[in-house]
Amino acid sequence: MADNKIKVNIKFLSGEVLPLEIDSQISHSDFISSVFASLVSLDNIRFLSFSQLSISRFVENEFVSIEPLSKLLLPQPDETFYIYIDPSTY
């Protein structure tokens, strides 16, 4: 059986890049959950709610938000996704 894992990059506004290994057939929702789980495991991010996280990808010269959908994300190897963490809590 072929290995369906690929590496993508998660880039913070600060410029810091976090590598992340994911399934190449991951859904939008599962991708968001994987990114969230990776972030809350970091020492410098202590408090983070799911609603504070926004993820986007750069497609055809524009940023497109990753929404929590069941459709496949179809990430490319070494693709960079961009995250924004809203510091406000509601």
pTM for the full predicted model: 0.87
The confidence score (pLDDT) of residue 47 equals: 72
Confidence tier at 74 by pLDDT (50, 70, 90): very high
The confidence score (pLDDT) of residue 40 equals: 82
The sheet carrying 17-23 orders its strands as: 17-23, 5-11, 80-85, 53-59, 62-65
The confidence score (pLDDT) of residue 1 equals: 44
Quote the CA–CA distance of 87 and 90 in Å, as a whole number.
10
Confidence tier at 41 by pLDDT (50, 70, 90): confident
Size of the chain in residues:
90
Q: Is the pLDDT of residue 54 over 90?
A: yes
Of 2, 4, 1, nearest to 75 by C-alpha is 4
The confidence score (pLDDT) of residue 64 equals: 96
